[in-house]
Amino acid sequence: MSSVCAVVVAGGCGARFGNPGGKQLVNVAGRPLMTWSIRAFDRSAFVSHIVVVCPAEKMDEMRRQAIDPYNFATPITFAEAGKTRQDSTRSGVEAVPAGYEYVAIHDAARPLITAEVIDRAICSLRCESGVDGVVCGQAAIDTLKVVDGNRIVETPPRSRYWAAQTPQIFALETMRRAHAAALADGFVGTDDSSLVERMGGRVLCVDSPRDNLKVTVPEDLRPVTAILLGRMSDADAMQNTGILTPLP
């Protein structure tokens, strides 16, 4: 049952966030931003190892601030981030210990992911034969426009479009082959799934809550913090009524 290793990518420099030290250690609802993502994978029924990808010079600081104070039960190791997200993901995938069948790749900047969503996505991949991976996401609800500059040239049917999130979960060896092929061909994808898709891999979309937000700019912290505080309040209320439930 424990054949999944999570790769939590925390290698960004936070350029769009505007913080020279990056955003992964910014306090959000009482914990560093990246701690929330690690917590969700630590609580997964299927994940038994976590690889955190970050710059080598930040490994000690991230362990000291975002990991050690929280008594995670799952073993956590580090891999060095690369120049691009794709380089960082490849580093994390290569650092997965021997014996794992699947890898779940997640952006540390999506702190609202839950163990329930992770486990449901893993089950979707395991239960569907002939599938190489699954991508958490949401069917598009907004009308989409194709533009040339700012001129609209097409309005495609939104029923064909999904907004991709993370985690994205794959058979480990498939993901390693996809990265090797992309590196050899000089291909840079927009996400992890695109590397598998270009090899002819079959990847499915799995419905994930719309509140699985990514923190990119400072104003993203407001809704994320509000949701996390709301979850903690709900958990406290349930405990006060005798319905014990763990903090998401």
Structural domains of the chain sorted by starting position, each given as residue range(s) with its CATH number in brackets: 4-240 (3.90.550.10)
Put simply, whether the predicted model's pTM sits higher than 0.85 gets the answer yes
- CA distance to 142, 143, 152, 159, 230, per residue, from 149 (Å): 20, 18, 8, 24, 40
pLDDT band at 213 (very low <50, low <70, confident <90, very high): very high
Any idea which residue has 């299927």 for tokens? 46
β-strand pairing of 4-9 with 102-107: parallel
Mean local confidence (pLDDT), 155-168: 95
pLDDT at 241 over 90: no
At residue 20, the pLDDT reads: 58
At residue 68, the pLDDT reads: 97
pLDDT band at 244 (very low <50, low <70, confident <90, very high): very low
Angstrom distance (rounded) from CA 58 to CA 94: 20
pLDDT tens per residue, range 49-64: 999 999 999 999 999 9
